[in-house]
Amino acid sequence: MYSLNDMDRLLEIKDYLADGLNIAAIQRKYEERALKKKQSLSDSEVRQLLQNEISQQSRFTTNANPFGFGR
């Protein structure tokens, strides 16, 4: 039985073949993708990204009553 990820990969390979890529070129694409995936973020980088995201979201709720209830 195939998973949905397997089916997605097969459909992606089918599209690559339709675009004119050969099996070796498709394999290189998957190897490059795997290499990028291995180069993960360090803990400090993840913390910094999270801190930046939280500070960006806090800009949208500057007042204590953002929806105007109780006015």
Q: What pLDDT band is residue 64 in, cutting at 50, 70 and 90?
A: low
Residue type, 52: N
What is the model's pLDDT at position 2?
Answer: 83
What is the model's pLDDT at position 68?
Answer: 59
Tell me how long the chain is: 71
Model pLDDT for residues 22-63, shown as the tens digit of each residue: 999 999 999 998 888 777 777 888 888 889 888 888 766 555
Q: What pLDDT band is residue 20 in, cutting at 50, 70 and 90?
A: very high
In the chain, where are the structural domains located?
Answer: 4-58
Residue-wise over 27-60: b if at least 16 C-beta within 10 A, else e?
Answer: eeeeeeeeeeeeeeeeeeeeeeeeeeeeeeeeee
Q: Is the dihedral of CA 10, 16, 17, 23 positive or negative?
A: negative
